[in-house]
A and B are shown apart, each in its own frame.
Chain A
Amino acid sequence: MHVKKGEFAFLTGHSGSGKSTTMRLLHLVERPTEGEVRITGYSSDRVTQRDVWKVRRRVGFVFQDFRLLPGRTALENVAFVLEVTGTARKQITPRAQRLLAQVGLAIKAGQLVHELSGGEQQRVAIARALANDPYVLLADEPTGNLDDRATRGVMDLFRDINASGMSVLMATHDLEIVRRYPSARVFELDNGRLVYDSAES
């Protein structure tokens, strides 16, 4: 399975088919027992646990359960990634502001994340994922906890992000969403194996 640069791809399959595991492998949260994971030029065979941060800085990740830092504002959550990568202090706040504006949340920047709606939290998470200018955006069931409207908002954002040249790989079991994007590439997993690839049929 290989996702090209600039591609928009869905990873589908029943629950338990291995979508999340695949995403966790790509994020180097888990390591392959056999085979190799290659992402943004790094190989799972070579990157040590101490150095995974190097990979993670080149990959944006969006989770089903948002994974925002609790007790902090939307702005702080985005700014945190910039702090992590050693961005100059003066640039952090303006850049975080701009990222939030990009996902349409400029006016909610000062709000604590747990006071935001699910859709808004996910958009903060997307802004955070974009903070490092990643090569790839990985999203594991990003709409799993969202209603239709919020889902559409998130999907529109993904499309815009992809249009700017970033690869997007999104795992979802929701075929409705997949159908709405006929141009996207689709992989299907079953029981941990790749059973369908739209590029090969």
Chain B
Amino acid sequence: MYAIREALGAFKRAPVLTGLASAMVGLALSVVGLFGLATYNLQLALTAIEERVEIAVYLRDGTSQSDIDLAQTSLSQMPEVLAVRFVSKREALERAREEMKDFRELFDDLGENPLPQSLQVTLRPGDRSREVVERISAAAMTYPFVEDALYGREWVDKLFDLQRIGGATAATLGSAFGLVAALIIGTALRIAIFARREEIYIMRLVGATNGFIRRPFLLEGAIAGLIGGVIAWGLTWGTYRGVYAFLFKVAWIPGSWIIAGLTAGAAFGAIASALAIRRHLREV
């Protein structure tokens, strides 16, 4: 109760100082926020591409319906498989016509349909890794009536490489930005507390326990962090709107990320305050 009143009182008594600390926290966190926005969109783009990872299992002409059914059932029973769809010779031709309009006449001139029937295997999200793709194609190849199992090895490899590089970059840059933000927040709150060291000494001199002195400062740090988080949220949102309107369509980061960011801001503010105040509590 007392701590809450004190913490709020500090904002009233020194609005410039606490405001500046909040603004610094806000700017530091908005760098992290923008990075999050970029990372999230990159991740979305990669996931969209990843959804197109599928395996085409080509069947020999004249494979009996029961063999096809057998393969279809057993493939779809594999845990990583989302669905197995049968594509008949005729459907394959239709599709080819759709996708390659320039060659439509060529297709019309064909006497006999040269395209094979196939099973189109799609994978569950999260299981679209190189290993899974390879394992399933290998499994499909064991059937004698399977001509070939293809998954566009080259571009799938490239996609997975890209994902790995993206992930590593995000982790490295993310932690670097996070560290810089942490240092800035720490410094800002250190300055704010240094300006009030006299107050801390007086509290010690009149017999306040360390915990009693610390609590309002922790809360104040948390509030400054939270306000900083809201500022960062606003700045990131503004940038997002700007990019969306003038450059290209991007997605807004999910709410859970925002909540995590705000919580991190508040926690950081409290921790930074605790560290900054420790020194002053020892002095008198």
Q: Which A residues form the contact surface with B (CB < 8 A)? A: 27, 29, 49-50, 52-57, 61, 67-72, 80-81, 83-85, 89, 128, 132
Is B158's beta carbon under 8 Å from chain A?
no
Q: Flag whether B206 is at the interface (Cβ < 8 A).
A: yes
A84 and B205 in contact (CB under 8 A), knowing A71-B14, A72-B13? no
Please determine whether B199 and A27 come into contact, CB atoms closer than 8 angstroms: no
Contact: B2 with A53, CB < 8 Å? no
Which residues of the partner chain A approach B206 to less than 8 Å between Cβ atoms?
56, 61, 80-81, 84, 128, 132
The answer to whether the Cβ of B207 comes within 8 Å of any Cβ in the partner chain is: yes
Contact A61 B205 (CB under 8 A): yes
User: B-side interface residues toward A, CB under 8 Å?
Assistant: 1-2, 13-14, 198-199, 201-210, 212, 282, 284
Question: Do A71 and B13 have beta carbons less than 8 Å apart?
Answer: yes
Q: Which of A55, A68, A69, A132 has the most CB of B within 10 A?
A: A69
Q: For B284, list chain A residues within 8 Å (CB).
A: 29
Cα distance, A27 to B210, chains bound together (Å): 17
CB distance from B198 to the nearest CB of A (A): 8
Q: Do A84 and B282 have beta carbons less than 8 Å apart?
A: no
- Complex Cα distance, B210 from A104, in Å, reads 32
B209 and chain A: residue at smallest CB distance? A53
CA distance A80 to B212 in the complex (A): 11
Contacts of B210 in A (CB 8 A): 50
A130 to B: closest C-beta gap in Å: 11
Q: Does B199 contact A81, Cβ atoms closer than 8 Å?
A: no
Instruction: Give every chain A residue within 8 A of B203 (Cβ-Cβ).
Output: 69, 80, 84
Q: Which of B2, B13, B14, B207 has the most CB of A within 10 A?
A: B207
| A85–B1 CA distance with the chains assembled, in angstroms | 14
> Are A57 and B207 within 8 A (Cβ)?
yes
A71 to B284, CA, bound (A): 22
Q: Which residue of the partner chain, among A53, A70, A80, contacts B204 with CB atoms under 8 Å?
A: A53
- Where chain B touches its partner, the secondary structure class is helix
> CA A69 – CA B208 in complex, angstroms?
13
Once the chains are docked, how many angstroms separate the CA of A69 from the CA of B6?
Answer: 12
Output the least CB separation between B219 and chain A (Å): 15
In the complex, chain B residues whose CB is within 8 Å of the CB of A80: 203, 206
Interface pair A29/B205, CB less than 8 Å apart: yes
Q: Would you give the shortest CB distance from B4 to chain A, in whole angstroms? A: 13
Q: Does A70 contact B199, Cβ atoms closer than 8 Å?
A: yes
Question: Which residue in chain A gives the minimum CB-CB distance to B2?
Answer: A83
**Given A69-B199, A70-B199, A72-B13 in contact, is the A53-B207 Cβ separation under 8 Å?**
yes
Contact, CB under 8 Å: B13 / A85: no
Q: Could you tell me if B205 and A27 are in contact, using CB atoms closer than 8 angstroms?
A: yes
Residue in A56, A72, A83, A89 whose CB lies within 8 Å of B205: A56
A83 to B207 alpha-carbon distance, docked (Å): 11
Query: Which B residues are CB-close (under 8 A) to A67?
Result: 198, 201-202, 205
Instruction: List, in ascending order, chain A residues with CB within 8 A of B208's CB.
Output: 53, 84
A81 touches B207 (CB 8 A): yes
**Pairwise interchain contact B202-A84, C-beta atoms closer than 8 A:** no
Task: Please give me the residue from chain B that is nearest to A132 by CB atom.
Answer: B207
A162 to B83, CA, bound (A): 93
Report the minimum CB–CB distance from B230 to chain A (whole Å): 26
Nearest B residue (CB) for A134: B207
CA distance A71 to B187 in the complex (A): 24
9 contacts between A and B (CB under 8 A): A27-B205, A50-B210, A56-B206, A56-B207, A67-B198, A67-B201, A81-B207, A84-B207, A84-B209
Distance between Cα atoms of A52 and B208 in the complex (Å) = 9
B205 with A85: CB separation less than 8 A = no
What A residues does B209 contact at CB under 8 A?
53, 84
Complex Cα spacing A188 to B204, Å: 29
Q: How far is the CA of A80 from the CA of B6 in the complex (A)?
A: 10
Query: Please, how many angstroms separate the alpha-carbon atoms of A27 and B201 in the complex?
Result: 13
B213 to chain A: closest residue by CB:
A84
A-side contacts of B14, CB under 8 Å = 71
Give the nearest-CB partner of A71 in chain B.
B13
Chain A hits for B13, CB < 8 A: 71-72
- A residues within 8 A CB of B199? 69-70
| Chain B residue nearest in CB terms to A81 | B206
Q: Which residues of A have CB within 8 Å of B204?
A: 52-53, 56
CA distance A69 to B207 in the complex (A): 14
Structural contact, A49 and B282, CB atoms closer than 8 A:
yes
- Tell me the minimal C-beta distance from B196 to chain A in angstroms: 9
